Structure 1
Amino acid sequence: MNTIVDFQQFNNATLEQVRTRFEEEFGVMTYFMNPAPRPCFNKICMSELHQSQTSLEKMQGEVIANGKVSQANYLVLASDIPGIFNLGGDLSVFGDLIRAKARDHLLAYAKLCVNNVWTFYNMQAPVTTISLVQGQAMGGGFEAALAAHIMVAEKSALMGLPEVLFNLFPGMGALSFLSRKIGMPAAEKMVRSGKIYTGEELYQLGVVDVLAEDGQGQYALNNWIKKNHRSLNSFQAINRAKQRVNPLTIEELYDITEIWVDAALRLDERNLKVMERLVRAQNSKVNSDVAHIQEKQSA
């Protein structure tokens, strides 16, 4: 049974770009991203995600559903946009801030990104975080998916870190998360290459934890939860132990973000033009996808 949970109970905010769903049987809370005008991490989407995550954390996973208190055991990050998980940072905003040399604003944006991935990774509540990648997860979208305790991805999902195309690097957690999963040499190779990987390729590399057939991501996620729910306490304890053996701190993430901001401010006009081309490509894809959906709905 699915129940829509209204987070106004916790923070009096009206969510515009995040939809929530709570399933009582296993205690699965899902946040569906729906950022506009492009499916990337704008400030509204990130702020709503962070508010929702911190509220759930503060309540130790307790939610009000059907007039009673229920426990959220899992927090899933997914997308409402067909074919796209998230395309990453708002490159249009990046370009404007870089041209204006607005370091403080660029750093504030970057830290909001970091606060989101850190809360998802370091959830201080008995809640297992899961990313469900169906479609494209690029740059910061891939970093957000990597922050989860478990990553579920469909075989043809596309993930990558294309920042090297405009002479930058992914500065909101990619190296930190990847190095703890597959080792620093493999993580650095992935970051330096700018290569786009399929979900199946990343499963073989050990980045994706649960591989799903195309169109079956939600089914694979539900199946994993059903199989592992009885040992949830053990799983969560082992995950905390892993984090202690190879600890990650928010200070590490903040320090890397400072490096990212300084590097971003050194980009020249040629690099920024590449950013602009990527923004146009994102807009073109969104517009063509919307037209395709409208065509299907009117048929």
Structure 2
Amino acid sequence: MTAYDLKMATDIRDLRLAKTRDPRDPDGGIAASFRLEQLDTRYDPDTQTLWTDMRARTRPSFNADLLRDFVRWQEAIGLAADGVAMPIRYVVLGSGFPGIFSLGGDLNMFAQAIRDRNHDALVHYGRTCVQILHRNMRGLERPIITIGLVEGDALGGGFEALLSFHVVIAERGTSFGLPETLFGLFPGMGAHCFLSRRLGAARAERMIMSGRTYSAEELYEMGLVHNLAEPGEGRRMVADYIRQNHRRHSAHCAIYEASRAVNPLPLEELEAVVDLWADAALRLTEGDLKRMERLVAAQTRLREKAEA
């Protein structure tokens, strides 16, 4: 077991212990489990909705600590949904970064692992990602509907993450894309699996190989975005969607469960693609890595501009 695995296991053990504490206690219990470094949460008891915003501490991408926060977040949701103090029917994930939902994987970490020929690090990162997405796709094995709120661009792994949500609500003018082919790679955290089931294998491959950017309006026509909101109105539309469908919650959960039964996506399939992705990553050239690092620099400038 690596140090990362040990820390993850300790976090999950602490969350399970929290279930035995009084959830009204501000220093313990379920509520305390949602105090995470890079995820901001707010619970609405009227609609039994957990609103969450990503707050990546560096670039708006999925760094290793943010992934660990997601694992803890999912565990806490499961425990809360099982209880009476904080029942959860809907989970909404958005971003606190202006104009960006997520730019995807930790490219800086990828480049370093590739230079070090560290295949295990790439596989571990990828498998952690797809395990999170697989749980999200399955509503954390609870009667929970997951909603992706897109108020800014979703690229690479950010787009892949959204494909695991039951409902995606995006503001007009936002962009989606899978740019990995621009530096000699392919999206390895679920795009093939999710898109093939939604669009068919041929259309999925065409989208992945194009490397192009798609608008929210285009994805709405494809059925990958479920509702379009005007700029600045995404959160209001999500709240309206939950309020309008609250009485249909059980029926919607059953429909999503039936869809998974008809067209199952085993975790093993997602993990097998991760292994292929890690193999492909180690075949990248130094030129590919330099293009990857130029993207990292561009992401860093975005962060600096937002802070300014």
Q: Same fold judged by TM-score > 0.5?
A: yes
Aligned to 1:148: 165
Describe the shift of the 1:272–1:213 C-alpha distance in structure 2 as closer, same or farther (beyond 3 A): same
The 1-side partners of 2:259 and 2:277 are apart by 27
Indicate conservation of the 8 Å contact 1:60/1:126, yes or no: no
Does residue 124 of structure 1 match 2:141?
yes
The whole-number CA distance in structure 1 between the counterparts of 2:133 and 2:246 is 24
* Cα contact 2:171–2:229 (8 A) shared by 1: yes
What letter is aligned with 1:258? D
Q: Is the 8 A contact 2:217 2:228 kept in 1?
A: yes
Which of residues 8, 33, 36 is equivalent to 1:15? 36
The residue identity in structure 2 corresponding to 1:174 is A
Give secondary structure in 2 for the equivalent of 1:280: helix
Q: Shift in Å at residue 282 of structure 1? A: 0.6
Residue number among 203, 207, 210 corresponding to 2:227 in the alignment: 210
- Determine the structure 1 residue equivalent to 2:289: 272
Partner residue, 1:61: 81
* Inter-partner Cα distance in structure 1 for 2:26 and 2:57: 21
Which secondary structure state, in structure 2, belongs to the residue aligned with residue 71 of structure 1? coil
Amino acid at match of 1:111: R
Q: Distance in 2 between matches of 1:29 and 1:13?
A: 10
Cα contact 2:220–2:226 (8 A) shared by 1: yes
- Distance in 2 of aligned mates of 1:7 and 1:195: 48
Indicate the residue corresponding to 1:95 in structure 2: 111
TM (norm. structure 2) is 0.88
Indicate whether 1:86 and 2:102 are aligned. Answer: yes
The change in CA–CA distance for 1:144 and 1:6 in structure 2 (over 3 A counts) is farther
Query: For residues 123 and 162 of structure 2, what CA distance do their matches in structure 1 show?
Result: 21
Q: How does 1:1-299 map to 2 (within 5 A)?
A: 9-10=29-30, 14-57=35-78, 59=79, 61-62=81-82, 69-122=85-138, 123-291=140-308
**1:8, CA displacement in angstroms?**
5.3
Q: TM-score, normalised by structure 1?
A: 0.90
1:1-49 deviations in Å (ceiling 9; x for gaps): xxx9979524868511111111111111022111121110001111101
Question: Which residue number in structure 1 is paired with residue 20 of structure 2?
Answer: none
Distance in 2, Cα, partners of 1:186 & 1:222: 32
> Within 2, Cα distance between the matches of 1:119 and 1:77?
14
AA in 2 matched with 1:61: A
Instruction: Indicate the percent of aligned positions where both proteins have the same amino acid.
Output: 41
Query: Do the aligned partners of 2:187 and 2:208 also contact (CA within 8 Å) in 1?
Result: yes
Residue identity in the other structure for 1:141 = G
Q: For residues 81-132 of structure 1, what are the alpha-carbon distances to aligned partners after superposition, in whole Å with 9 as ceiling and x for unaligned?
A: 1111111001001000000001111111111111111111112011101100
Is the Cα contact below 8 Å between 2:101 and 2:153 reproduced in 1? yes
Aligned residues: 283
Matches of 2:132 and 2:57 in 1, distance apart?
Answer: 18
Q: Is the 8 A contact 2:34 2:41 kept in 1?
A: no
Q: Match for residue 13 of structure 2?
A: none
Q: List alignment gaps of at least 5 residues for structure 1.
A: 292-299
8 Å contact kept, 2:197–2:263 = yes
Q: Label 1:175 to 1:7 Cα distance change in 2 as closer, same or farther (>3 A).
A: farther
**Residues in 2 aligned to 1:249 and 1:181: alpha-carbon distance in whole angstroms:** 15
Mapped partners of 2:220, 2:198: distance in 1: 12
In the TM superposition, residue 62 of structure 1 has moved relative to its aligned partner by 4.2
Gaps of 5+ in 2: 1-23
C-alpha distance in 2 between matches for 1:255 and 1:24: 40
Give the root-mean-square deviation of aligned CA atoms.
1.9
